[in-house]
Amino acid sequence: MDGDYAGRVAREIDRVFVSSMAFARDNGGRDLVDRYGGREEVGWLVEFRTSLAWPDRLVTWPQFVAVTRYRGRVEIGGGGIVRSAKGFTASAHGAAFLVELYKLHSELFAGSPRLNELAGRVLDAAAATGREAFAAMAPPFEPAGMSAGGLLVNRLGTLRYHRADAHASAWRAAGLTAEEIQALPPGPARDAIEADTDRAAAVPYSVLSPEERTELLQGLEAQG
């Protein structure tokens, strides 16, 4: 499986996901967050929505550390979260927020059923090689009646963590820390890490035929 493809599709996944979340924030998302107490209250729920929307789903502390590996020491809290020795779940307040967040996303994102299907197959395949950050987010919660676009945004968002784990494995294999990879300038050392990342991140895409991989990439490129 071509690592170059993994790099190209990752850029499109990032672009579509980031722009979609920004659109949602500006079209009801900010008001919804404010109605539930603001970012300090429900911010972590937005980030971990694909897992915490599952009833009683626990995100473990090692998974949380993996997701936040580039942020230094951070604490999780707010009324939307219930902490325990093993990890955290959504509170009743948080679960109610997530129901409304999913409803908003379903209303905002029309999407493409075909792109959704292709991304779903890649996501299923990613479970075999994803590590802690991916495990924190997968499988994404998919309520009945969710629009194809709403499903696609969350599937793409979850796939980003598969690549994040691949990147962490690559820089660790090179003997670097999270701080050191962030500070590493462009050059041969970084190029080698990115190439290793692409090779590992490419594995789930082998579930698609060459034609389907092209269809997925071009479909994402066509997304606004």
Q: Which residues contact 61 (CB under 8 A, 6 or more apart)?
A: 86, 87
Q: What is the pLDDT of residue 73?
A: 85
Percent of the chain with pLDDT over 70: 99
Percent of the chain with pLDDT over 90: 93
In tens, the pLDDT along 28-57 reads: 999 999 999 999 999 999 999 999 999 999
Residue 142 has pLDDT above 80, yes or no: yes
pTM above 0.85, yes or no: yes
Q: Where are the domains of the chain?
A: 3-221
Q: What is the pLDDT of residue 176?
A: 97
**Residue 83 binned pLDDT confidence (cut-offs 50, 70, 90):** very high
Nearest-angstrom CA–CA distance, 107 and 102: 9
Residue 59, classed as helix, strand or coil, is strand
Nearest-angstrom CA–CA distance, 185 and 49: 33
